[in-house]
């Protein structure tokens, strides 16, 4: 195998179980679990229920359908040690051979790559805080740049937003570029993808879902729900979570109901959380006090963020 190409040897995806041989100092008994899914070149995912731990893939025994025991050394023969590892995370184990996945802020391997679309004010502030929280929870976070420049004022951000939203097609082309930039990162190689967004970014991730972008999940926080290009039946492949403030004057209840009907007609797998008395921008503790349409709500912020992680636990194991 030419390691410079980062290629992984073919894995026997009929593998049903594994026995983890941890260092003696761990004093952990081997555990048998059942194969849950197989995804990505050179990646096998099985269920596991222990705290996060990274082990060398050569320390893992696998058992095939025929009962043959296969040691990790067999599966990773010819692969550099730095390219063969197993990630034991809460809910799953990932055996990867090939290019290394990204390390998160906690020092463990990333469970997924999450694209973060900020508010109309673009990168900075609460969007970066949310990205840091994702990293602390074991995800590779990548904050998109809507404009390629930083607005100095809210009025200027509206001007910049108008430039990239001349047509719905223009806007979708623009936000797709962030996906292309993320997947080109070496650290994101082989990771499943998700997208979250706030305000205009929340509307952006819903547009991605509508056109069938390769996301496992999208989460919209106080995002606009209307669209000029509604989803077609069978097009939405991502799990969809919308976290909405019911007192948001920018998204009246008629728009909410239209969104529900659109998702139903498209056959989407969607959840909608609505927080009574909560305004637009409820996740931003630095919301401008002179704008009556927006307002931070600590409870809705906390509950919506927890709901996102619950969804990610379902989707990514």
Does 69 have pLDDT greater than 60?
Answer: no
Tell me, yes or no, whether 150 and 12 share the same domain. no
Tell me, yes or no, whether 143 and 71 share the same domain. no
pLDDT on residue 264: 98
Tell me, yes or no, whether 137 and 209 share the same domain. yes
108 in any annotated domain: no
105 in any annotated domain: no
List pLDDT tens digits, range 78-133: 544 444 444 444 444 444 444 334 444 444 467 889 999 999 999 877 888 999 88
Give the CATH number for residue 277. 3.40.50.1820
Q: How many residues does the chain have?
A: 317
Residues 6+ apart with CB under 8 A from 11: 42, 43, 44, 75, 95, 97
Q: Which of 48, 73, 97 is the last residue of a domain?
A: 97
273 in any annotated domain: yes
Tell me, yes or no, whether 261 and 132 share the same domain. yes
Model-level pTM greater than 0.75? no
Tell me, yes or no, whether 182 and 309 share the same domain. yes
Lowest-confidence segment of 48-52, 186-190, 258-262 by average pLDDT: 48-52
List pLDDT tens digits, range 191-232: 899 999 999 999 999 999 999 999 999 999 999 999 999 999
> Would you report the helix, strand and coil content of the chain in percent, each value rounded to 5?
30, 25, 45
SS3 per residue for 91-112: CEEEEEECCCCCECCCCCECCC
Q: Which of 43, 71, 97 is the last residue of a domain?
A: 97
Tell me, yes or no, whether 67 and 192 share the same domain. no
136 in any annotated domain: yes
Domain of 242 in residue numbering reads as 113-316
Does 277 have pLDDT greater than 90?
Answer: yes
21 in any annotated domain: yes
Tell me, yes or no, whether 164 and 58 share the same domain. no
How many domains does the structure of the chain reveal? 2
pLDDT on residue 8: 34
List pLDDT tens digits, range 140-179: 899 999 998 889 999 999 999 999 999 999 999 999 999 9
């Amino acid at each position: 195998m030419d390691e410079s190409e980062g290629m992984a040897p073919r894995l026997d995806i009929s593998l049903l179980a594994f026995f983890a041989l941890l260092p003696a100092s761990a004093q952990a008994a081997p555990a048998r679990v059942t194969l849950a899914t197989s995804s990505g070149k050179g990646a096998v995912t099985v269920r596991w229920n222990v705290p996060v731990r990274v082990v060398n893939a050569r320390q893992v025994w696998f058992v095939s359908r025929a009962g043959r025991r296969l040691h990790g050394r067999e599966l990773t023969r010819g692969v550099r040690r730095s390219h063969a590892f197993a990630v034991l995370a809460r809910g799953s184990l990932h055996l990867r051979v090939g290019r290394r996945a990204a390390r998160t802020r906690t020092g463990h391997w990333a469970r997924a790559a999450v694209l973060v679309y900020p508010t109309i004010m673009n990168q900075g502030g609460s969007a970066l805080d949310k990205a840091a929280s994702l990293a602390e929870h074991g995800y590779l976070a990548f904050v998109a740049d809507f404009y390629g420049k930083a607005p100095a004022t809210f009025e200027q951000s509206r001007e910049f937003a108008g430039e990239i939203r001349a047509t719905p097609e223009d806007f979708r082309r623009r936000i797709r570029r962030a996906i292309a930039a993320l997947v080109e990162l070496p650290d994101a190689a082989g990771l499943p993808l998700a997208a979250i967004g706030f305000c205009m970014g929340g509307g952006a991730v819903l547009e991605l879902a509508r056109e069938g972008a390769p996301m496992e999940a999208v989460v919209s926080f106080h995002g606009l729900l209307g669209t000029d290009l509604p989803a077609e039946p069978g097009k939405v492949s991502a799990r969809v979570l919308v976290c909405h403030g019911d007192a948001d004057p920018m998204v009246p209840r008629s728009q909410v109901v239209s969104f529900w009907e659109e998702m139903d007609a498209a056959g989407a797998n969607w959840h909608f959380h609505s927080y009574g008395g909560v305004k637009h921008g409820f996740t931003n503790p630095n919301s401008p006090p002179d704008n009556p349409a927006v307002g931070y709500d600590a409870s809705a912020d906390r509950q919506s963020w927890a709901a996102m992680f619950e969804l990610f636990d379902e989707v990514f194991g």
